[in-house]
Structures are given as structure tokens and as C-alpha cells.
């Protein structure tokens, strides 16, 4: 998805773009994603700024191709079980409002007006009207198509070609060489491997997530609904967020319940405990789901970086190499903003956001002392 968005905005900035994928369209984490475009779960900071920028860009794209990508600004509803949780939620929302997030307090008696099938007895919640949804595989496919970029699938990148002064001059693939003065690494969970082909360190690691899909139902869940429990972190006075699974209805009918977070490498076996946790969390929020059937489950590997921020921008170590990966569980949502930032940096325009927090060279290579980054 990030690659598709980079292709779209780079093409619109006047560049000639080729999209290369080792598999089919959206064959990696995108095809296993839920398509959440969330601001509700982000605390003020660079990721939230990127999410707000991305949300505006998604809304513009929806004007062009909204139905084809199943864009729906359904809003997020975060609920709290008890008064303490509600107080922490409200405090979290206050900080978000100051950063430009729409966050509407919902009292207990109004919760079931918004979500009639929600469990009784909840203390209250916050409504986030900016939270939205797309169907990620359709979105990636439609964005690439709208970009006019050439799409080369089934071509694994096996090398990054370097020219004079070490600058990139293209990639070698299983289907031959592709020459270009700029290479954007949007390989998601495999972005670290691609960086290594260019000789640079980018510690992207997989974090597995399962999503449950129910049988199709008439619309019974209207928003993206999840419960928040906040654990006050005394030292930093910020709030560490522990959330229940997000439960949401979709235009196509099934309810999606996701997602788990496990650091288990690229383990592809099915985990019954993970699925039990999802089912239990969802049925606590919506008791009617007890008798609703799960049709299937799917999983993917989120690309995460140690500080949970993506790598976006030029790599000062390799001229011509740009990175756009490591978005963890928010890659669909953050893709449009990422694509625009990349396009602006490629075109040497002023980026819409301060890119420093996303610098790709911010992680010291293993073995090197922490303060010797400029020593190369």
C-alpha cells in the first residue's frame, strides 16, 4: 500500500514510475490488513501528524475513487468500562484535541444511541469522526492504476545497482535489471532485507497479527469500536495504551475483529490462543457476537521499527535511495501521507511535515557505538 501511494504521488509530481513487487499486487502485509485509517489510537507527536495529513489525502482520494476502494468514514468509538478508564480516556483525548483531532465525549446513556448492540454498563466513550476505512488490496490496486505507473509483478529484487559515487542506478530483479536514478524501498516487513541489499542497516522486524472475519451480517456494528484501558505511566506522565480488538462492520457484510500483536518472527502456524483472545474481546464488547460465526481468519506480519515510527525519506548513506517502510500496524492509514512526503522530497520540494523524526538512518548499526553515526 505504501508503495502504491508513493507511486501515485511521485507520478503526480511528474516522475516516471515503475512499481516492482516480488509477488502479486498487495501480496504482503497489505493483503492481510484491515484497512484502518485511524487517528484515535495515536498520541500527539509525529505519527499523529502523519495520520492527520494522511487522513486529509485519503478524503481527497475518496472523491476520485471512493467506491472502488470501499472508503468509508465511519468514525471510531473508543469505550471505557469504568470511571477510571473514562477519565484516562478523556485526558488522552484532550491532548489529541490540542493536536487537531476531533474527539467528541460520549456519555454512558448516549453510547447505545451510537452503537445499539454494545454491551450494557459501560462508563462512556469518545467518538473520533475522522477514523475511516478502506479495503486495502483494492486501494493499493486502484492507486497504482490511477498513477499510470508501470506495474511489474512476480519480480523479486535481488540487488540494488550502484554507480559512480555509490549512487543507486536501479535494481536487479529476477526478471532483469530496471534502471532508475531513484529507488524507493517500500518493501514493508521485508524493508530491512532490501536495505541490506543496498548495504545499509534498517532494523525492520515482523510483528504477527490475526484478524477474524465473521459471516456476512446486515450492518449491526456502525463504527470502529474498541475498548481502551490506560495504564498510567508515572515516570513519563504519558499514558500507555492497552486496547481490546477493534470490532467493525464492513460494507460487504462481515464483521472484522482485529488484531493481535505478537513478536513471533515469521511463524505461519495458526494460534488458537490468539484467536480465542480476539473472540473473547469482541464478544465482551458486543454480546450478540456470541452466536455469530467466524468464517475465517487471516494473518500478516506488521513491519515495526524499534521506536515504532516509520522510516521515510532519503538515506544519506546511499544517494538516490529512499525509504518508505516500517509503519507497523498503521501502514494503510499512513500510506498517503508517506507517499506525498516521498514525492515532495524526490521533487526537492518542501515536505508537508517535518521529516526529521522519520530519518531512515536514525538506528545505529549493530556493533557500532551509539554516537558514531557520522563516523562512516
Partner 1 sequence: MGEPGLAVIGAGPAGLAATLAAAARGVHVTLIDSGAQAGGQFYRQPAPGFRARRPQALHHQWRTWERLRDGLDTHVRAGRVRHLTDHHVWFVERRGAAGLTVHALVGPEQEEPAEVHADAVLLATGGHEKVLPFPGWTLPGVVTAGGAQAMLKGGLVLPGRTAVVAGTGPLLLPVATGLAAAGTTVAALVESADPAAFVRRSRALAGRPDKVAEGARYAGLLLRHRVRTLLGHTVVQAHGAERLEAVTIAALDRHGRVRPATRRRLVCEVLAVGHGMLPHTDLADALGCRIDGTDVYADDEQRTDVPGVWAAGETTGIGGSALSLAEGHIAGRSIAARLAGRVPDPGEWAAAARTREKLRAFFAAVDSVYAPPAHWAEQVTDETVVCRCEEVSSGAVREAVRELGAGDLRTVKLLTRAGMGWCQGRVCGPGVAGVAGCAQAAGRTPFARPVPLGVLARAGETREPQAGESGEPQAGAERAAQERHQ
Q: How many other β-carbons are positioned within 10 Å of the β-carbon of residue 334?
A: 29
Q: Which three cell numbers stand for residue 314?
A: 532519503
Q: Whole-number minimum distance, CB 90 to partner 1, in Å?
A: 30
Is the Cβ of residue 35 or residue 360 nearer to partner 1 in the bound state?
35
- Closest distance to partner 1 from the beta carbon of 74 (Å): 19
- Give the shortest CB-270-to-partner 1 separation in angstroms: 5
- Concatenating the DSSP letter of every residue in 45-105 gives THHHHHHHHHHHHHHHHHHHHTGGGT-B---EEEEESSHHHHHHHHHHHHHHHHTT---EE
Chain positions contacting partner 1, by CB under 8 A: 21, 23-27, 31, 137-138, 141-142, 144-145, 151, 153-154, 212, 214-216, 252, 254, 257, 269-270, 272, 275-276, 279-280, 282-283, 289-298
Q: Which is nearer to partner 1, 152 or 167 (CB)?
A: 152
Task: State the nearest-atom distance from the C-beta of 15 to partner 1, in Å.
Answer: 20
Distances (CA, A) of 167 to 17, 280, 307, 315: 18, 52, 28, 11
Q: Which is nearer to partner 1, 39 or 275 (CB)?
A: 275
The minimum distance between CB 266 and partner 1, in angstroms, equals 14
* Of residues 47 and 248, the one with the C-beta less far from partner 1: 248
Q: Is the peptide bond before 259 cis (omega within 30 degrees of 0)?
A: yes
Distance CA 39, CA 370 (A): 33
Dihedral over alpha carbons 275, 281, 285, 288 (to 10 degrees): 40
Please identify, using beta-carbon distances, which residue of 234 and 272 lies nearer to partner 1.
Answer: 272
Q: How far is CA 61 from CA 58, 120, 202, in A?
A: 5, 38, 31
Q: Nearer Cβ to partner 1, position 39 or 144?
A: 144
Q: Give 77 or 289: the residue with its C-beta nearer to partner 1.
A: 289
Task: State the nearest-atom distance from the C-beta of 267 to partner 1, in Å.
Answer: 10
Q: Which is nearer to partner 1, 27 or 316 (CB)?
A: 27
Nearer to partner 1, 48 or 187 (CB): 187
CA–CA separation, 125 vs 224, rounded Å? 12
Phi, psi of 367, deg, nearest 5: 95, -25
Q: 168-205: string of b/e by CB count within 10 Å (b at 16+)?
A: bbbbbbeeeebebebbbbbbbbbbbebbebbebbbbbb
Q: Which among 6, 78, 69 is positioned nearest to 245, based on CA atoms?
A: 78
Closest approach of partner 1 to the CB of residue 230, in Å: 24
Q: Strand 36-37 and strand 132-133: pairing?
A: antiparallel
CB of 57 to partner 1, least distance (A): 21
Work out the end-to-end distance of the chain between its first and last CA atoms, rounded to an integer number of angstroms. 33
Q: What is the DSSP letter of 264?
A: B
The order of strands in the sheet holding 157-162 is 157-162, 168-173, 176-179
Minimum distance from residue 284 beta carbon to partner 1 (Å): 9
Phi, psi of 16 (to 5 degrees): -90, 120
Our CB check for partner 1 shows the closer of 177 and 215 to be: 215
Q: From the CB of 204, what's the least distance to partner 1, in Å?
A: 23
Amino acid at each position: 500500500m505504501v508503495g502504491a501511494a508513493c507511486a501515485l504521488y511521485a507520478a503526480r509530481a511528474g516522475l516516471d514510475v515503475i512499481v516492482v513487487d516480488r509477488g502479486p499486487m498487495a501480496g504482503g502485509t497489505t493483503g492481510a490488513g484491515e484497512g484502518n485509517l485511524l487517528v484515535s489510537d495515536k498520541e500527539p507527536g509525529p505519527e499523529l501528524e502523519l495520520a492527520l495529513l494522511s487522513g486529509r489525502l485519503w478524503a481527497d482520494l475518496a472523491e476520485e475513487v471512493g467506491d472502488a476502494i470501499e472508503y468509508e468514514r465511519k468514525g471510531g468509538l473508543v469505550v471505557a468500562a469504568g470511571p477510571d478508564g473514562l477519565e484516562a480516556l478523556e485526558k488522552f483525548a484532550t491532548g489529541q484535541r490540542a493536536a487537531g483531532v476531533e474527539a467528541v465525549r460520549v456519555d454512558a446513556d448516549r453510547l447505545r444511541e451510537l452503537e445499539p448492540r454494545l454491551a450494557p454498563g459501560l462508563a462512556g466513550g469518545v467518538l473520533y469522526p475522522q477514523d475511516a476505512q478502506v479495503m486495502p488490496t483494492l486501494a493499493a490496486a486502484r492507486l497504482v492504476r490511477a498513477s499510470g505507473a508501470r506495474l511489474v509483478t512476480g519480480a523479486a529484487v535481488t540487488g540494488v545497482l550502484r554507480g559512480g559515487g555509490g549512487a543507486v542506478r536501479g535494481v536487479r530483479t529476477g526478471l532483469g535489471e530496471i534502471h532508475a536514478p531513484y529507488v524507493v524501498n517500500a518493501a514493508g516487513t521485508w524493508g530491512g532485507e532490501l536495505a541490506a541489499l543496498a548495504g545499509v542497516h534498517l532494523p525492520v522486524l515482523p510483528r504477527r497479527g490475526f484478524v477474524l472475519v465473521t459471516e456476512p451480517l446486515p450492518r449491526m456494528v456502525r463504527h470502529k469500536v474498541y475498548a481502551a484501558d490506560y495504564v498510567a505511566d508515572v515516570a513519563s506522565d504519558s499514558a500507555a495504551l492497552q486496547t481490546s480488538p477493534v470490532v467493525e462492520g464492513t460494507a460487504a457484510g462481515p464483521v472484522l475483529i482485529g488484531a493481535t500483536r505478537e513478536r513471533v518472527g515469521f511463524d505461519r502456524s495458526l494460534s488458537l490462543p490468539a484467536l480465542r483472545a480476539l473472540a473473547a474481546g469482541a464478544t465482551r464488547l458486543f454480546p450478540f457476537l456470541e452466536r455469530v460465526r467466524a468464517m475465517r481468519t487471516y494473518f500478516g506480519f506488521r513491519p515495526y521499527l524499534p521506536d515504532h515510527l516509520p522510516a521515510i525519506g532519503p538515506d544519506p548513506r546511499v544517494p538516490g535511495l529512499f525509504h518508505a517502510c516500517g509503519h507497523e500496524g498503521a501502514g494503510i492509514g499512513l500510506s498517503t501521507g508517506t507517499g506525498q512526503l516521498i514525492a515532495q522530497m524526490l521533487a526537492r520540494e518542501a515536505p508537508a511535515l517535518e521529516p526529521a523524526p522519520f530519518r531512515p538512518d536514525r538506528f545505529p548499526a549493530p556493533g557500532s557505538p551509539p554516537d558514531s553515526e557520522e563516523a562512516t
